[in-house]
Structure 1
């Protein structure tokens, strides 16, 4: 009987119920949009912030071994040890390999630079790296990475240098980039020829003649150096197949108390905490896994970058949560006003039901059931609209769609129903104050 009455009652006052459902739908649309964005915005924002550079630096373990002598931090092994270039693929073979956006090795070679046929020469450094190099992986033979991936903010006036193919070791490296400050000091531009002669103790490599393909501006130390394919720096230093450091760009989640504790000492973690930390994309856990993958390597997060990313993403997600709560609160107040008006309009109906012996809980169940159905209908419509709005926002802001997990649907539906029920609590209390004699005689 109650279900029949509920079904018939649902079509009473259709305009007000439609307005209530529309109010809930608008709230559900906003909640769905913000929920989808909050779930996906972490990765998307992290990818956007990768344009500010790498957030992990991998170096030989000896680089982290310092000796304090007379108050001076001294490392006698600095720049003495190197890493094997052949081990770089292991960085993309860790548990969080899909979070590794890209990597770029570095090898610095001090050189003497002579410009074309001009007299005189200057001193500079050649920074060898990958620009857009193919690095064969066990599961992806065509994987490409380099500074063009992890440092998209680098500006090149001219063309990027060409790089040798890993399968063609006889290929000659002939083009380089010259930093903007060094180019101005040497008076060189794209198209000029340079002769690079290695300098330093024990270096016997022959001078190399190269062409400037472009002028590089980064705002960093590269502006005062020559940036070349890694193979050229290896030839100038005699360190074939070796690198001094690797810059890694990884997608991470904001640091919290657990990651801070692990950062101090993983030995302080319980087995459960360690598993949780290890299986979460904290920058510290990704760095730890890189150290496990490459022998004698030390991976250190660039905390200025990592902390900045985490703070921005965390604040954006907090903002989305606050806006969602505000939308739900506004919808609940709107529904409350509509339900209160509906109950007053149906006072005679309520009085008649009480006069015929209907219990208070039955009348409450009838009106709250109506409210629940209105919330469910409005929530379902809001989910559909919210998905469309989320996709529009994703394409408009990030240039790609938003992945909305299926769990969003039941969550938004439950929130919508609860919103209407919460908004109906105060109006429902009015029912208990209605007396059959008064309302049936029009005195209520």
Structure 2
């Protein structure tokens, strides 16, 4: 029998002859592996899932034009395309897949009071603002979507006809509309003066729906871009604001903003703090929880495995003494114990990875209503970590076993 075969035989015999002790070490490693694998799986899946859910509450990045001198500029179509490509590249997505909506603001008169009219790509705004509470339908040709405050101020409902009088640049102000900055109060602005009555166009539109967001969006009237272009008699004049929903699970918002600021001297990026800060705060809390629980679990696993191995060494003290008397070295005895405990730790890691994945799936389904895929790299890391922790926990008992004096042990017999 070769030395290697004899080593394997002795290792298998040591495991199967002391099944109760072996089971204790295996369970200690498995419990730790279950906890660590499930926590790691959830913490890896949650940021991406949470980021996707947070993005349903609207944009977390706003791109606005920079003023040139005393005049307000607009974002050009070329800048819009470059911004989309830059953000997509920073987040690892295709520009066509990026949730992005551009707004062109104009001032219109309704019942002799000025209101903000936003020319939009209806489908883009609809996809970006899934949290909007909409009564009715999104606007089509010849239709507008009005904010709740506007509807209440002008007494509009679904199916009502509203006449929009476009105010020329003398009566309009495109600056400062960052983040849908609409009118405050009841939605109606001051009475229009004679100087404001230079209307460049007029249109009668049907109200297709009323939107209630609880924010400044309720002070705005929304219409398809083509309809606003027909009302104003101008096209391709640019945009006053671009809203983007950025996936920050793989990159930081600061990096995205810096990339946007480098696109052109005419635009700058502004993160929406109420969304980005909440996202970052929750991720930080999860990571902190993971590390705290991991340290506690690793400590308990070390104690459990060390206690079990101390009892195993105590039971095998006579056997160790006899083997050393027959010529076995302390190094060979230590190698056998380390191999035994590493095997048990690895088996515990395998069991723990399977049970930990099941626990992670249950948690994600219950909390986030979504399943997660099994991560083989995480499972391999769990098995290796369990084996390493088991070996580290057995260091002290194995060290004592390798130093047993065979003369003292045999004399006790």
| Residues in 1 aligned to 2:125 and 2:410: alpha-carbon distance in whole angstroms | 81
Q: How big is each residue's C-alpha offset from its partner over 1:288-316, in whole Å with a ceiling of 9 and x where there is no partner?
A: 43455567333333345434322321221
**How do 1:249-398 residues align onto structure 2 when only pairs under 5 Å count?**
249-253=245-249, 281-292=251-262, 296-398=266-368
Does residue 111 of structure 1 match 2:108? Answer: yes
Shift of the 5–201 alpha-carbon distance from structure 1 to 2, 3 Å rule, reads closer
Given that residues 205 and 235 in structure 1 are in contact (C-alpha distance below 8 angstroms), is that contact kept between their aligned partners in structure 2? no
Tell me how far 1:247 sits from its aligned partner. Answer: 0.9
| Residues in 2 aligned to 1:393 and 1:239: alpha-carbon distance in whole angstroms | 54
Does residue 147 of structure 1 match 2:111? Answer: no
Does residue 124 of structure 1 match 2:115? Answer: yes
2:185 aligned residue: none
Shift of the 77–360 alpha-carbon distance from structure 1 to 2, 3 Å rule, reads same
Given that residues 161 and 175 in structure 1 are in contact (C-alpha distance below 8 angstroms), is that contact kept between their aligned partners in structure 2? yes
**How do 1:184-195 residues align onto structure 2 when only pairs under 5 Å count?**
184-195=152-163
Match of 1:12 among 11, 17, 22: 17
Given that residues 36 and 403 in structure 1 are in contact (C-alpha distance below 8 angstroms), is that contact kept between their aligned partners in structure 2? no
For the residue of structure 2 that corresponds to 1:252, the secondary structure is coil
Given that residues 175 and 210 in structure 1 are in contact (C-alpha distance below 8 angstroms), is that contact kept between their aligned partners in structure 2? yes
Q: How big is each residue's C-alpha offset from its partner over 1:87-117, in whole Å with a ceiling of 9 and x where there is no partner?
A: 5444443323545741111122211224xxx
| Residues in 2 aligned to 1:187 and 1:303: alpha-carbon distance in whole angstroms | 34
TM-score (structure 2 length as normaliser): 0.80
2:151 aligned residue: 183
2:190 aligned residue: none
Given that residues 201 and 233 in structure 2 are in contact (C-alpha distance below 8 angstroms), is that contact kept between their aligned partners in structure 1? no
For the residue of structure 2 that corresponds to 1:27, the secondary structure is helix
* Count of residue pairs the alignment pairs up: 375
For the residue of structure 1 that corresponds to 2:99, the secondary structure is strand
2:43 aligned residue: 38
For the residue of structure 2 that corresponds to 1:83, the secondary structure is coil
Given that residues 148 and 212 in structure 2 are in contact (C-alpha distance below 8 angstroms), is that contact kept between their aligned partners in structure 1? yes
For the residue of structure 1 that corresponds to 2:114, the secondary structure is strand
2:181 aligned residue: none
For the residue of structure 1 that corresponds to 2:210, the secondary structure is strand
Given that residues 91 and 248 in structure 2 are in contact (C-alpha distance below 8 angstroms), is that contact kept between their aligned partners in structure 1? no
Tell me how far 1:207 sits from its aligned partner. Answer: 1.4
Shift of the 207–341 alpha-carbon distance from structure 1 to 2, 3 Å rule, reads same
Does residue 218 of structure 1 match 2:186? Answer: no
For the residue of structure 1 that corresponds to 2:56, the secondary structure is helix
Tell me how far 1:373 sits from its aligned partner. Answer: 0.6
Does residue 77 of structure 1 match 2:74? Answer: no
| Residues in 2 aligned to 1:313 and 1:147: alpha-carbon distance in whole angstroms | 27
For the residue of structure 2 that corresponds to 1:96, the secondary structure is helix
Given that residues 91 and 97 in structure 1 are in contact (C-alpha distance below 8 angstroms), is that contact kept between their aligned partners in structure 2? no
Shift of the 131–314 alpha-carbon distance from structure 1 to 2, 3 Å rule, reads farther
| Residues in 1 aligned to 2:386 and 2:270: alpha-carbon distance in whole angstroms | 46
| Residues in 2 aligned to 1:319 and 1:325: alpha-carbon distance in whole angstroms | 10
| Residues in 2 aligned to 1:234 and 1:421: alpha-carbon distance in whole angstroms | 73
For the residue of structure 1 that corresponds to 2:231, the secondary structure is helix
1:246 aligned residue: 242
Shift of the 426–39 alpha-carbon distance from structure 1 to 2, 3 Å rule, reads same
2:62 aligned residue: 57
Q: How big is each residue's C-alpha offset from its partner over 1:208-257, in whole Å with a ceiling of 9 and x where there is no partner?
A: 2222222212222112222333333333344412211101111125xxxx
| Residues in 2 aligned to 1:325 and 1:234: alpha-carbon distance in whole angstroms | 62
TM-score (structure 1 length as normaliser): 0.75
Given that residues 376 and 416 in structure 1 are in contact (C-alpha distance below 8 angstroms), is that contact kept between their aligned partners in structure 2? yes
Given that residues 346 and 386 in structure 2 are in contact (C-alpha distance below 8 angstroms), is that contact kept between their aligned partners in structure 1? yes
Tell me how far 1:155 sits from its aligned partner. Answer: 1.3
